[in-house]
Amino acid sequence: MTRKAAISNDFARPNEPTVLILTSLASGAKHGYVLTKDIEDFAGVVLGPGTLYGALTRLEERGLIAPVPSDDRRQPYEITASGRAALADAVHAMQSLANEGAARLRLRDMANPLLLTPNTPRLAQ
């Protein structure tokens, strides 16, 4: 399976826990509790401990994140180079989808459709 195909399978949805975790870790290493709070802040999604650790397991197995050595019980994780590449691919895939949706809806702000929010509908006509 190509990397692109793998990404289209696993990272197709923006609310996918793996995408949310990679997005959160892109701004720096975090442990479980900080991760869940950060994700809740930027995506409004509450990941339960079971779901979070299930996704962390998958991501670490695939080498997309790595544990940061720590003396604390709280285990921080950081995104790896492969993780950044996978996240970038996922972002591009989602951006393409957003661009397509914006074009079909004839939204005005075509230059940067990702900046469109549900509260600011800007119809072309």
Partner 1 sequence: MKRENRSNRLLRWYPPTWRSHYGAGLLALLDDTYGAKSVPWRERWSIATKGVAERAREAGITGTTVNANGRLLAGSQLVLCGWSLFIVAGAIFAKFTEHWNDSVSSVHRTFPGVSDAVVRTAGIVGVLLVLAAAAFVLPSLVRLARRESWQSVRRPLKKNALALSISIALTTSVALRAHFLNYHQRNGGSPGYVVIVLLAGFAVLATLATMTTTALSLTRQIDFSRRLLRNLSFAALTLSVLMLSIAVGSGIWWISEARFAPKFLENSIGSGILFTSNTLPPALLLMAVLMFIGLAMALVGATRIASGFSDHGPHRVATSSPH
Contact pattern from residue 95 through residue 124 relative to partner 1, giving x for each residue in contact according to CB under 8 A and a dash for the rest: ------------------------------
| Whole-number Å distance between alpha carbons of 8 and 30 | 26
Could you say whether residue 53 binds partner 1 (CB under 8 A)? Answer: yes
Residue 7, judged by CB atoms within 10 A of its CB (0-12, 13-18, 19+), counts as: buried
Which contiguous run of DSSP H or E holds residue 76? none
Scan residues 66-95 and list those touching partner 1 (CB under 8 A): 72-75
Closest contact distance (angstroms) between CB of 47 and partner 1 is 10
CB atoms within 10 A of CB 63: 12
Scan residues 19-38 and list those touching partner 1 (CB under 8 A): 31-33, 36
Residue with Cβ nearer partner 1 (47 or 107)? 47
- Contact between residue 86 and residue 11 where contact means Cβ atoms under 8 Å apart: yes
Beta bridge partners of 67: 77
Closest contact distance (angstroms) between CB of 100 and partner 1 is 31
Q: Residue with structure tokens 């696993």?
A: 10
Closest contact distance (angstroms) between CB of 52 and partner 1 is 7
Residues near partner 1 (CB under 8 A) are 31-33, 36, 48-54, 56-57, 61, 72-75
